[in-house]
């Protein structure tokens, strides 16, 4: 068995790399795949918090690299899903403690036993980024519909194209607000796609539930009511090769909104005729 | 695990759990619920045999939420004996009445067990003459137990009403105080002086708990360790590594790591990872004004924070309940030290 190694990166910080990693990982594991999440953000680890596994970490990525423990010992099993494992970053060290070769060795080893290895990349384009993409053959570039995030994503895509191992990369647009797009205050999904000339793999709507789920330590894909959760599940299915239509994220919550949407739909039809 | 309600009774059924740490874990999860507060709790246990320290920590867990442990059911004879020696009302599950809390145990049984315990303590008295302090603890407990059994005999009429008398106020505090020689309670917790005093108390404590015959090389080494004082807040990612005792005046935030060959004492909230006795010293302890550690490690033992506690950031309060963690029977047990 050869697993797929996917790096989740963005360049800019705070766009949702870690949230995306945790949720796609959980969604893939829910669908029955065996998944390892590797946190490479050494010194500023967060992935364990999002999964609620902080209290279970004994050995970290750095311990594996420095051979204080075996790889199997450092994998922390998820509370709910036994298919999902976490290889946490060390909190008390920095990015220089692991280099590209060492991470590649680890991902190559994990490939043999697991279907998916998701690497959560740190922000920036320095050593941490170079280390994280070393073992990966695919990449997901996370961005938000903001000028700064799009610019950084563009830079990252350039670096990914130059990198040797990366065979394909896809775009994930996070924190999209349909209301703001309508009032022309935010770039639309199509705009972002055009600017970056990159195929998208998912569009995640802004969801306040993400904050709650982060604080609780439970990925939002476990919440069936959440729209963002559904969007992440769809991304996971697309990664797996399924052809899933994109969610209609512009879904009004109240009745007034629904009627407005219906009327505007009629108007459009009238104009076309 | 099931819970039943019965007016002011709250029945917790842990009959299917077979190890002491799991029982404490499950129990703390149940006790987090609001409905368990201010109740008289009836605990149902299965085959698992608990020792005195474990029962005491269960009791203090329950007392911590303003409830009292009013009665117990167990299938294990050892647990029953220990519970009786702590003055708890125990009923044996063999009579299969599981859904209703049995307030009082059959009178004869109590007498029998009492006699057995008496015999045992007599034997111990003969053998263990070098342990005067241990003996005094036992005799205190024995006295209490005798009192309580007497009390049980007298209010038989009240019990026939179906009401359960809440047990007299001989709470864990008393017992803990006996164990800890109550010097902690008198501590005024004032300024730096008190840390010195604490160091003295530590010596006293080890004196009390470890009889001289069991005074090993490790203990002497522990006392001979140098001590490092740190007056700052330890933040995420910071590491303190010292081949001796560590005293921190300040909080330890989640994400920090404190490793010491000897004891770790935190004059503040401990929320990170603490590893005492890193050189393999089983007698090392971790103590803090508020114990909220993500992980506690002592020598080669490991325990983690229960998942039921939601936030790793402790609420800021003005009142603290100091706690101390140490190894008992190969497991890390956290004791509350009430004032």
Domains of chain A: 4-272 (3.40.50.300)
Find the mean pLDDT for residues B16-38: 75
Residue of A nearest to B295 (CA): A55
| Cβ separation A58–B305 shorter than 8 A | no
Nearest Cα residue in chain A from B258: A92
The stretch B254-265 carries a mean pLDDT of: 94
Interatomic CA distance for residues B87 and B81, integer angstroms: 10
Cα–Cα distance between B257 and A125 in angstroms, integer? 29
A163 or B207, greater pLDDT? A163
Task: State the pLDDT confidence band at B147, using cuts at 50, 70 and 90.
Answer: very low
This prediction has a pTM of 0.62
Classified by CATH at the fold level, domain B185-336 comes out as Pectate Lyase C-like (2.160.20)
Q: How far is A185 from chain B (nearest CA, A)?
A: 36
Q: Range with the lowest mean pLDDT among A147-161, A225-239, B195-209? A: B195-209
CA–CA min distance B273, chain A (Å): 9
Q: How far is B256 from chain A (nearest CA, A)?
A: 7
Residue ranges of domains in chain B: 2-94+101-175, 185-336
Res. B96 pLDDT band, cuts 50 70 90: very low
Q: Do A92 and B239 touch (CB under 8 A)?
A: yes
- Cβ–Cβ contacts within 10 Å for residue B299, how many? 19
The answer to whether A56 faces chain B, any CB pair under 8 Å, is yes
In terms of DSSP bridges, do strands B264-270 and B286-291 run parallel, antiparallel, or are they unpaired?
parallel
N- to C-terminal Cα separation, chain B: 33
CB contact under 8 Å between B312 and A58, yes or no, is no
Query: ipTM value of the model?
Result: 0.80
Kindly state the tokens that stand for B141.
């407990």
pLDDT at residue B162 in the model = 40
pLDDT band at B28 (very low <50, low <70, confident <90, very high): confident
**Higher-confidence residue: B201 or A149?**
A149
Token reading at B253 = 């935030």
User: Is some CB atom of chain B closer than 8 A to the CB atom of A184?
Assistant: no
B286-326 pLDDT tens trace = 999 999 899 999 999 999 988 877 666 767 777 888 999 99
Of A33-47, A63-77, B48-62, where does mean pLDDT reach its minimum?
Answer: B48-62
Share of chain A above pLDDT 90, in %: 82
DSSP-derived letter for residue A45 is -
What are the pLDDT digits (tens) for A142-163?
999 999 999 999 999 999 999 9
User: Contacts of residue A52 in chain B, CB cutoff 8 Å?
Assistant: 307
Q: Which pair of tokens denotes residue A56?
A: 């279970």
Three-class SS of chain B = CEEEEECCEEEEEECCCCCHHHHHHHHHHHHCCHHHCCCEEEEEECCCCCCHHHHHHHHHHHHCCCCEEEEEEECCHHHHHHHHHCCCEEEEHHHCCCCCCCCCCCHHHHHHHHHHHHHHHHHHHHHCCCCHHHHHHHHHHHHHHHHHHHHHHCCHHHHHCCCCCCCCCCCHHHHHHHHHCCHHHHCCCCHHHHHHHHHHHHHHHHHHHCCHHHCCHHHHHHHHCCEEEECCCECCCCEEEECCEEEEECCECCCCEEEECCCEEEEEEECCEEEECCCCCCCCCEEEEEECCCEEEECCEEEECCCCCCCCCCCCCCCCCCEEEEEECCEEEEEECCC
Does A54 reach chain B within 8 Å, measured CB to CB? yes
Q: Region B1-18: what's the mean pLDDT?
A: 68
Q: Which carries the bigger pLDDT value, residue B328 or residue B182?
A: B328
- DSSP annotation of A78: P
Minimum mean pLDDT range among A40-44, A78-82, B178-182, B291-295: B178-182
A75-111: per-residue pLDDT in tens? 999 998 999 999 999 999 999 999 999 999 999 999 9
pLDDT over 90 percentage in chain B: 22
How far is A124 from chain B, CA to nearest CA, in Å?
Answer: 20
Alpha-carbon dihedral sign for residues A184, A190, A192, A195: negative
Q: How far is CA A144 from CA A44, A187, A210, A247, B136, in A?
A: 21, 9, 15, 17, 70
């Amino acid at each position: 068995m050869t697993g797929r190694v996917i790096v989740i990166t963005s360049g800019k910080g705070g766009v949702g790399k870690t949230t995306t990693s945790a949720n796609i990982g959980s969604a893939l594991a829910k669908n029955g795949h065996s998944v390892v999440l590797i946190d490479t953000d050494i010194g500023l680890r967060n992935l364990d918090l999002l999964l609620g596994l902080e209290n279970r970490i004994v050995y970290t990525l750095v311990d594996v690299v420095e051979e204080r423990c075996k790889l199997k010992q450092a994998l922390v099993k998820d509370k709910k899903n036994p298919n999902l494992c976490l290889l946490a970053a060390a909190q008390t060290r920095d990015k220089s403690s692991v280099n590209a070769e060492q991470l590649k060795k680890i991902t190559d080893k994990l490939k043999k036993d697991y279907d998916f290895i998701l690497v959560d990349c740190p922000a920036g384009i320095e050593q941490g980024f170079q280390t994280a993409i070393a073992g990966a053959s695919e990449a997901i570039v996370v961005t938000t519909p903001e000028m700064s995030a799009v610019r950084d994503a563009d830079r990252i895509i350039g670096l990914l194209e130059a990198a040797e191992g990366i065979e394909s990369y896809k775009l994930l647009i996070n924190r999209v607000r349909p209301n703001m797009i309508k009032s022309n205050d935010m770039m639309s999904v199509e705009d972002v796609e055009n600017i970056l000339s990159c195929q998208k793999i998912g569009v995640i709507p802004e969801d306040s539930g993400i904050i709650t789920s982060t604080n609780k330590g439970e990925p939002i894909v476990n919440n069936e009511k959440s729209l963002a959760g559904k969007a992440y599940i769809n991304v996971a299915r697309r990664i797996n090769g399924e052809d899933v239509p994109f969610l209609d994220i512009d879904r009004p919550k109240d009745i007034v909104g629904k009627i407005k949407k219906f009327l505007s739909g009629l108007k459009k039809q009238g104009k076309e005729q | 695990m099931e819970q039943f309600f019965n007016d002011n009774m709250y029945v917790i059924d842990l009959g299917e759990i077979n190890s002491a740490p799991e029982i404490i874990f499950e129990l703390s999860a149940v006790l987090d619920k609001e409905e368990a507060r201010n109740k008289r709790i009836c605990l149902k246990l299965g085959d698992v045999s608990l020792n005195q320290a474990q029962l005491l920590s269960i009791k203090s867990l329950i007392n911590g939420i303003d409830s009292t442990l009013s009665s117990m059911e167990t299938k294990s004879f050892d647990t029953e004996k220990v519970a009786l020696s702590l003055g708890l009302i125990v009923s044996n599950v063999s009579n299969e009445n599981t859904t209703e809390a049995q307030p009082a145990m059959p009178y004869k049984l109590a007498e029998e067990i009492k006699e057995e315990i008496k015999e045992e303590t007599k034997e111990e008295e003969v053998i263990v003459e070098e342990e005067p302090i241990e003996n005094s603890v036992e005799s205190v407990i024995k006295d209490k137990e005798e009192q309580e059994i007497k009390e049980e005999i007298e209010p038989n009429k009240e019990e026939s009403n179906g009401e359960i008398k809440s047990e007299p106020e001989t709470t864990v505090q008393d017992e803990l105080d006996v164990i800890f020689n109550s010097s902690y309670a008198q501590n005024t917790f004032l300024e730096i002086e008190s840390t010195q005093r604490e160091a003295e108390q530590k010596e006293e404590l080890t004196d009390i708990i470890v009889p001289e015959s069991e005074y090993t090389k490790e203990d002497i080494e522990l006392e001979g360790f140098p001590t490092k004082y740190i007056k700052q807040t330890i933040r995420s990612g910071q590491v303190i590594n010292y081949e001796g005792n560590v005293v921190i005046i300040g909080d330890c935030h989640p994400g920090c790591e404190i490793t010491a060959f000897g004891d770790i004492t935190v004059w503040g909230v401990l929320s990170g990872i603490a590893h005492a006795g890193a050189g393999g010293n089983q007698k090392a302890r971790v103590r803090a004004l508020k114990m909220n550690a993500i992980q506690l490690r002592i020598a080669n033992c490991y325990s983690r924070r229960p998942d039921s506690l939601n936030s790793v950031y402790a609420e800021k309060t003005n009142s603290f309940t100091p706690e101390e963690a140490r190894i008992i029977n190969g497991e890390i047990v956290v004791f509350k030290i009430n004032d």
